[in-house]
Each structure stands twice: as structure tokens, then as C-alpha cells.
Amino acid sequence: MSQKPDHVDLQKDLAPRPGEAIDPVELARRDQKKHLPKRFWKQAGVEEADGLYALALDGRRARTPAQTPLALPSRALAQALAAEWDAQGEFVDPSAMPLTRIVNSALDGVAREMAATLDDVVKYAGSDLLVYRAGDPASLVAEQAAAWDPVLDWARETHGARFVLSEGVTFVAQPDASIAAVRRGAEAVVGEASPGAALRLAGLHVMTTLTGSALLALAVAQGFLDGPSAWKAAHVDEDFQMRAWGADAEALARRERRWKEMEVAGKLLA
């Protein structure tokens, strides 16, 4: 008789492959849509050990695909993780487990590439969504200004980061001092090396790539915006187009999946 595993490994696609560049968001989005495994545990719970909170399935502590203990610095976050596992039905669908996917990515990928991941967040500030403005129609220009100008004002007043606006898609270089200010802000969010640092950086990175804006992500991380407000700001253009041309069901479904990832990123930053 085969033994039940003492850890779970359901997201092999989330583990960085040999020689593969680690992209935390790509790791977080990979779903196993074929050969879904059957649920083999009855109850998911949380166990405290060494100051961390580990996911336990029927008393067996879970591990990531790279065999890292699936343990978190926050009981609330670990309980949310356990709830995600308990919500699975007869078959286990990783695509319905955004928190697990991003936590796996953080522990197996981001934790080993902290500097590179931080660099990627800062790189977004060089071509941030908020600086590229429409020239017309006037209603879209006004909507962009209403949603984005307060964040730019906050970045200037809080971080001393001034950004140059551009009309259309013409690239405009941003001041080095402003990019450096974003880096300092991101470093402050991540904090010193700790079990939670990789999780916070993963959340910041996911939020940045989902919105196309390091400034929106930083504003959420530092409490200037909440997640729904940042998400709405990131979709000003898309919402304007939907009102003009109608909504696409497939696009809306994709957006809803991405919003769930945004929510998870917010939990990691909280």
C-alpha cells in the first residue's frame, strides 16, 4: 500500500527550472490544468513552530515544490492559506489557489532572487503607467488626471520623487533621483532580511506587474491607497474603452482572476 506524502507538491510549474530566469509573477500564474490530483487530506490547519505558522494537512506540515517548509510569519496569513486548501473539492485545482501559488513563488523564487526582484519593481518606475497620458478625448484626460495625479502628488510630497508626464506612448526618461526615491521606498516596504521580507517583496512585485505601476503598488504598500482604489486607477483606460465599445466577457473573466491575485498581493503586504 502506498503511503500518503508528508508534504504536498501540487504546483511543480511554480518551481523555477534549472537555468530559468525567475519571474515571480509568471511563477505565480502558472496553473496545472491537466491531471488534477485528488484531494488526499481531510482538514487543513495551522501549527506554530519556531515563531512561524505552518500549513498542516491532517497534521502533516506542507512544503513548497522546492521543499521549503510552507511556514509564514503571520497566523492570519497562514489561516488564509489553510482556508484556501480547505475550500478545494474532490480534485485540487492550483488555479483556484492564488495565495498558495504566490506564497510558493515567494519562498522558492523571490527569496533566492531578492535583489533582482527589487530591481524589476524599480524598473517599472522608469515607464510607469501613471506618466503616459491621453491627449484626447477630454473626458479620458480628466479621468486619468483624477485617478493618477493624487498618486504623483503623494510620491513627490512623501518621497521627493518628481515624474515627467508624456502624451501618448512616446518614451520619456524619468529623473534618476526619482527612480532612486522609488527604490528607497520599496526597500522600506520590504525591510530587513526576515521570513516576511520575501513575502512582502513578492506582493509588491505582483501588484506592480498587475497594475503596470510601481507607484500604485508603493502607494498601496505604504497606505496611501487601498487595493480596490489602486485597481480602479490601473484600469481607467480599459474602463473608458468598455463604456465606449462594450465589455468583453472573456476580458472581464481574466480581469477577475487578476484581481484575486491583486487581493493576495495586498495580504502579503499587510
Taking the alpha carbons of 199, 201, 207, 209 in that order, is the dihedral positive or negative?
negative
With beta carbons less than 8 A apart as the criterion, state whether 105 and 27 touch. Answer: yes
Are 268 and 202 in contact, with CB atoms under 8 Å apart?
A: yes
In order of 116, 139, 196, 234, the CA distances from 246 in angstroms are 39, 17, 42, 18
**CA pseudo-torsion sign 167, 169, 172, 175:** positive
- In CATH, 12-96 is 3.30.2180.10: yes
The C-alpha cell at 150 is 493624487
Quick one: cell of 161? 520623487
pLDDT in tens, 219-263: 999 999 999 999 999 999 999 999 999 988 999 999 999 999 999
Q: So what's the pLDDT on residue 95? A: 85
Alpha carbons 32 and 13: distance in angstroms, whole number: 7
| Separation of alpha carbons 84 and 57, rounded Å | 12
* pLDDT of 30: 52
Angle at 219 (CA atoms; ends 171, 119), nearest 5 degrees: 55
Distance CA 55, CA 44 (A): 7
Can you tell me the distance from the alpha carbon of 75 to that of 261, in angstroms, rounded to the nearest whole number? 20
Per-residue pLDDT of the chain (270 residues; tens, 9 = 90+): 334 444 545 445 444 444 444 565 555 545 444 578 889 899 999 999 889 999 999 999 999 999 999 999 999 999 999 999 999 999 989 889 999 999 999 999 999 999 999 999 999 999 999 999 999 999 999 999 999 999 999 999 999 999 999 999 899 999 999 999 999 999 999 998 887 999 999 999 999 999 999 999 999 999 999 999 999 999 999 999 999 999 889 999 999 999 999 999 999 998
Residue intervals of the chain classified under CATH 3.30.2180.10 are: 12-96
Residue 126 CB neighbours (<10 A): 17
- Closest CA relative to residue 93, chosen from 35, 25, 44: 35
Strands 44-49 and 52-57: antiparallel
Q: HSE, CB side, 13 Å, CA atoms: give it for residue 143.
A: 17
114-269 sits in which CATH class?
mainly alpha
Residue linked to cell 525567475:
22
* Entry pTM: 0.86
Instruction: State which amino acid sits at residue 10.
Output: L
- For residue 162, how many other CB atoms are within 10 A of its CB? 13
What pLDDT sits at residue 25? 55
pLDDT of residue 270: 83
| Rounded distance between C-alpha atoms, residue 197 and residue 190, angstroms | 5
Domain limits, CATH 1.10.3580.10, in the chain:
114-269
Residue-wise pLDDT tens digits, 183-219: 999 999 999 888 799 999 999 999 999 999 999 999 9
What is the pairing mode between strands 166-167 and 132-133? parallel
Q: Where are the beta strands (DSSP E) in the chain?
A: 44-49, 52-57, 60-61, 71-72, 132-133, 166-167
User: In this structure, what C-alpha cell is assigned to residue 193?
Assistant: 532580511
Residue 23: what pLDDT? 60
Neighbours of 124 (CB within 10 A): 21
Query: Which pLDDT score, from 0 to 100, does residue 37 have?
Result: 87
246 phi, psi to nearest 5 deg:
100, 155
Contact 130/215 with Cβ under 8 angstroms?
Answer: yes
